[in-house]
Structure 1
Amino acid sequence: MSDLHRIPLATGVSLDVATAGDPAAPALFFLHGFPESHRTWRHQLPEFARSHFCVAPDQRGFARSDKPGGIDAYTPDRPVADLVALADHFGIDRFTLVGHDWGGAIAWMAALQHPDRIERLIILNAPHPQIFQRTLLDDPAQRAASQYIRAFRNPDLEKHIDAIGLAAFFDTSFAKHVDRALLAPEKAAYLDEWGQPGALTAMLNWYRASAIVVPAPDEQVERPAFVDAPFPPIAMPTLVIWGIRDGALLPCQLNGLEAVVPDLTVERIDAGHFVPWEAPEAVNAAMRAWLTARP
């Protein structure tokens, strides 16, 4: 079982952080995405606590962690800084980083910016930033699948949610994209987390603060220079686990990944976007096999 601690960080925010396992064991940090919390990893923490010290924060803006005001508080460099500060809090110099969805986006950035701290990288259904931006420009199917980001950036979305109620928003958005049988026992926990003061706006601000350009389906936009320029390679061994039935992040996100991730292992799993809890046995087996081969 994991324990939840309130931890004040040098970045000025306090986060709820789940920990499990022996603090003297090798460290595994887990970063969840939208619209979740450390509970994303409910099937991974008990498994990997047998061999690792597992650390899984509720990231800034989510659940009961601090929710600083303003969109600028959620630019990707802020949660990257939270991650480093969290490792510093535990006195952990080097660790393996695991990220899903937005947590995976932060993990990609942290790996690029802090290769001295991150010795191995595990990504679950989170696109590499260059490939994601390129496919949003060049792949009509991915552009169409990502239009929800434009909706999340709409400043009036919270008014709409207030009008229909959180439960209706849950049923008409999130619940439509996952196995309802898996989701039903968790619904009350999601509504509790989303219902915390300021949580919805803070969670959506992750999308609003992102520099990724998401054009409308037929829109012509200026091409960001980084899309076609040489991109820094990921320095550490990397495992990418992909639920291939993800309707929001299509399998095109795996195309060309080896060019920017020299030491790459890809594991495709028959699951949707929320692969950590949609297919936990397959995810745990893939992680365990790869970690064993990469001591």
Structure 2
Amino acid sequence: MIQTWLQPLAHGITLSCRAAGERGRPVLLFLHGFPEAAFVWDELLLHFARPENGGYRCVAPNLRGFERSSTPADVAAYRPKHLVQDIAALIALEGGTLDCLVAHDWGGAVAWNLANQLPHLARRLAIINSPHPGTFLRELRDNPRQQEASAYMNFLIRPDAEQLLAQDDYRRLWAFFTGWGDAGWLTEPVKAQYRQVWNGPAGSPPGSGLVGGCNYYRTSPLRPPRPGDPAAAGVTLPPSMLSVPLPTLVLWGMEDTALPPGLVEGLEDYVPQLTLERVPGASHWIVHERPGFVADRLAAFLASPA
């Protein structure tokens, strides 16, 4: 059974959360990406909460700006330091140390930062198709293929991005999911869950639920350079901001059209305790496409020495 609640944090932000499993058990925390929400993890929450699969306490918050979580109006409120603060505060309420932090897409961006800045909050890190900031900066700056693949980011920072995304029943967003292949997982019930998140609060214009997610892109300089906007070309990240000391599993769907495989090259330079698995035939949406596979690989990682 999935439990849902609104969790106030000490610094004034509230996160809407989903969970399965008993409090007091070892905790797995799952972070979603864009344009998703916490519900995408439901199958894994239920799986790992079962006694035969570890009996974990499994928690998936909606990140700041998503679903019913707080959505500050100030774009600067979506900078990484604030997102890390949210998750660190939630971890404190869930016992103080995670057995594993599991993350995808933008959730992975938060997780990479947390693992670098506050590694004592988790024993392990599992990343699913979310680029490490060091390799992402390199590829955005130097690789035309990545610059082309990430061109959509410069669309998402437009002031009218939410309204454009909402047009024709979210036509552009459905194309995010179906651009690589059939996306048979995208059933009408799943679409209804997404629409409920994207629509925002009752009575608000369609697309209101996308404001927070678009603000993640608006506040980040890790975008392709363009005339008058150096973006990633103007960024320098010191080594101290890039090292990850935790045992880390990275699963990478090799058919990801937005995040090509070059992003995992050189990853071991930043993550000494790295387990990397390239997954042929899977796209950016591998959590939807192959949840059983993700569960199997995560279970094996959890069973390994930390």
Q: Name the SS for the 1:181 alignment partner.
A: coil
Offset, 1:264:
0.3
Structure 2 CA distance for aligned equivalents of residues 169 and 230 of structure 1: 38
Structure 2 CA distance for aligned equivalents of residues 266 and 129 of structure 1: 16
Pair 1:247-2:223 in alignment = no
Pair 1:286-2:297 in alignment = yes
Are the structure 2 counterparts of residues 22 and 165 from structure 1 closer, same or farther at C-alpha, using a change threshold of 3 Å? same
Offset, 1:265:
0.1
Q: Which runs of 5+ in 1 are unaligned?
A: none
Pair 1:208-2:218 in alignment = yes
Structure 1 CA distance for aligned equivalents of residues 124 and 139 of structure 2: 26
Q: Which residue of 2 aligns with 1:141?
A: 145
Identity, in percent, stands at 39
Offset, 1:178:
5.7
Q: Which residue of 2 aligns with 1:29?
A: 29
Give the 5 Å matches for 1:1-295: 1-50=1-50, 51=54, 52-161=56-165, 164-177=167-180, 179-185=182-188, 186-197=190-201, 198-216=208-226, 222-226=233-237, 232-269=242-279, 270-294=281-305
Offset, 1:83:
0.5
Structure 2 CA distance for aligned equivalents of residues 172 and 232 of structure 1: 32
Are the structure 2 counterparts of residues 251 and 58 from structure 1 closer, same or farther at C-alpha, using a change threshold of 3 Å? same
TM-score scaled by length of structure 2: 0.89
Offset, 1:14:
1.2
TM-score scaled by length of structure 1: 0.92
Structure 2 CA distance for aligned equivalents of residues 173 and 287 of structure 1: 25
Offset, 1:159:
3.7
Deviations 1:48-83 (A, max 9, x none): 112211110011111122211121111111121111
Q: Name the SS for the 1:36 alignment partner.
A: coil
Cα contact 1:67–1:199 (8 A) shared by 2: no
Which letter maps to 1:239? L
Cα contact 2:162–2:214 (8 A) shared by 1: no
Structure 2 CA distance for aligned equivalents of residues 7 and 35 of structure 1: 22
Cα contact 2:29–2:98 (8 A) shared by 1: no
Are the structure 2 counterparts of residues 187 and 142 from structure 1 closer, same or farther at C-alpha, using a change threshold of 3 Å? same
Q: Name the SS for the 1:276 alignment partner.
A: helix
Which letter maps to 1:122? A
Q: Name the SS for the 2:249 alignment partner.
A: strand
Structure 1 CA distance for aligned equivalents of residues 142 and 132 of structure 2: 15
Cα contact 2:180–2:255 (8 A) shared by 1: no
Cα contact 1:158–1:201 (8 A) shared by 2: yes
Deviations 1:164-209 (A, max 9, x none): 2443343444443564321123111111110014421111001111
Structure 1 CA distance for aligned equivalents of residues 28 and 163 of structure 2: 38
Cα contact 2:119–2:246 (8 A) shared by 1: yes
